[in-house]
Amino acid sequence: YITDLNFIRFLYNLTELDLGSNKIEIIKNNTFANLNKLRILKLAINRIIDIEQDGFKNLNKLSILLLFNNKLKSFETKNSNELINLTFLDLKNNLIYKVKINNLTKLNNLFLSGNKLELLHEDYFKELVNLQKLDLSENVLKKIHPYT
């Protein structure tokens, strides 16, 4: 099992990285900063509880991000220029109760099923103008803000 991600910082030419089914708990700042050619990142089936603010720094070419089956309680795109080419984001089967995904104008598919979402605020999905598929099944939704 992989728990430490320091070894990947010198793999500059990677376009796809599969770190699924390991014991990763935290995505630290700048973990993938040297992997600016990366297009597909698979972090599914780990124990991820936290992604630090610059955890996805410099992943401007990333189009697919798989984070399903982890232990995330929230997911937020914090920087306006991170993940700008993301088209597919899978966050299903986490513990997410809060999500704020902004500035991902190319995102087509967003999977949030099997989480703990109770409420959808109006700012949760700002600017997702190309979203074609949104899966919110198997949550505990009680209220959806009218301008969501």
Convert the pLDDT of each residue in 44-69 to its tens digit: 999 999 999 999 999 999 999 999 99
pLDDT digits (tens, 9 = 90+) for 10-29: 899 999 999 999 999 999 99
pTM exceeds cut of 0.85? yes
Q: Which residues contact 56 (CB under 8 A, 6 or more apart)?
A: 27, 32, 62, 65, 82, 83
Give the 3-state secondary structure of the chain. CCCCCHHHHHCCCCCEEECCCCCCCEECCCCCCCCCCCCEEECCCCCCCEECCCCCCCCCCCCEEECCCCCCCEEECCCCCCCCCCCEEECCCCCCCEEECCCCCCCCEEECCCCCCCEECCCCCCCCCCCCEEECCCCCCCEECCCC
Pairing of strands 50-51, 26-27: parallel
d(CA 63, CA 65): 7
d(CA 136, CA 95): 13
Q: Which residues contact 26 (CB under 8 A, 6 or more apart)?
A: 48, 49, 50, 51, 52
- Please report the pLDDT score of residue 135 as a whole number: 97
CA 91 to chain centre: 6
- Please report the pLDDT score of residue 146 as a whole number: 72
